[in-house]
Amino acid sequence: DAGVTQSPTHLIKTRGQQVTLRCSPKSGHDTVSWYQQALGQGPQFIFQYYEEEERQRGNFPDRFSGHQFPNYSSELNVNALLLGDSALYLCASSLARTGEETQYFGPGTRLLVL
Amino acid sequence: QKEVEQNSGPLSVPEGAIASLNCTYSDRVSQSFFWYRQYSGKSPELIMSIYSNGDKEDGRFTAQLNKASQYVSLLIRDSQPSDSATYLCAVLPLQKLVFGTGTRLLVSP
């Protein structure tokens, strides 16, 4: 049973650049949520995708955008990177069709902005 | 007031003891509650989910939920050094998980 996968595992960018992070959900799951976790903090919800549409969004600026593909995989894009965007970016998948909202996390992408 | 509050710790217990981790939440709409374990540098791993008032046991772990008091806890029996990690409490008010900052647990041999 394939779990949630994310790529890349680590990334170093400079201020002002753009970054794309990728996520493949757990086999059979249809919903992908993205979270940002700063050091010493709990994960913060960015947004959730279901049926290729953004279903809900957290308190993040428009520089953060996403996409979900027909195969349920997802991308997180961050434009005009700031130093404060340095964090662990987590993707979580769940199965909304059955109402089961338990979310399972991937290994994360650690982004460092210099 | 934070939506989900946890004591940041560290909570130190000797090997074999019971570790008790606590969490309070503010949103009465929340119906689903989760405990995740996170080792340093790793992603959160689901330990327990609980939806109804009372206790739910899974091996050495017991989750307790009291919706009237807006309180959820996690008990770890026979604590092992491998249980040393940060434990994140999360609630699910509307599809999105809201996390506390986590409690760091240290189990000494």
By Cβ distance, the residue of B45, B49, B96 closest to A102 is: B49
Task: Specify the pLDDT at position A17.
Answer: 98
pLDDT at B94 over 80: no
Q: How far are the Cα atoms of B50, B70, B75 from residue B58, in angstroms, in the given order? A: 11, 22, 10
At A71, list the tokens.
């195969």
B3 closest CA partner among A64, A34, A48, A44: A44
For the stretch B41-91, pLDDT in tens is: 999 999 999 999 999 999 999 999 999 999 999 999 999 999 999 999 999
Other C-beta atoms closer than 10 Å to the C-beta of B95 total 16
- Nearest-angstrom CA–CA distance, A33 and A66: 10
**C-beta atoms of A44 and B99 within 8 A:** yes
Backbone angles phi, psi at A83, to 5 degrees: -55, -35
Q: Which of B6, B35, B97, B103 to mutate to test the interface with A (most CBs of A within 10 A)?
A: B97
- pLDDT per position in chain A (114 positions), as tens? 689 999 999 999 999 999 999 999 999 999 999 999 999 999 999 999 999 999 999 999 999 999 999 999 999 999 999 999 999 999 999 998 766 689 999 999 999 999
Beta bridge partners of A37: A88
Residue A35: closest CA among chain B residues belongs to which residue? Answer: B97
Cβ(A58)–Cβ(B96) under 8 Å? Answer: yes
The residue ranking higher by pLDDT, B31 or A34, is A34
Stretch among A89-103, B7-21, B94-108 having the lowest mean pLDDT: A89-103
Task: Specify the pLDDT at position B30.
Answer: 80
**C-beta atoms of A105 and B99 within 8 A:** no
Cβ(B81)–Cβ(B109) under 8 Å? Answer: yes
Task: Specify the pLDDT at position B96.
Answer: 86
Tell me the Ramachandran region of residue B9: left when phi exceeds 0, alpha when psi lies from -120 to 50, beta otherwise. Answer: left
pLDDT tier for residue B31 given thresholds of 50, 70 and 90: confident
At A105, list the tokens.
């996390």
Q: What is the DSSP letter of B3?
A: S
Task: Specify the pLDDT at position A68.
Answer: 97
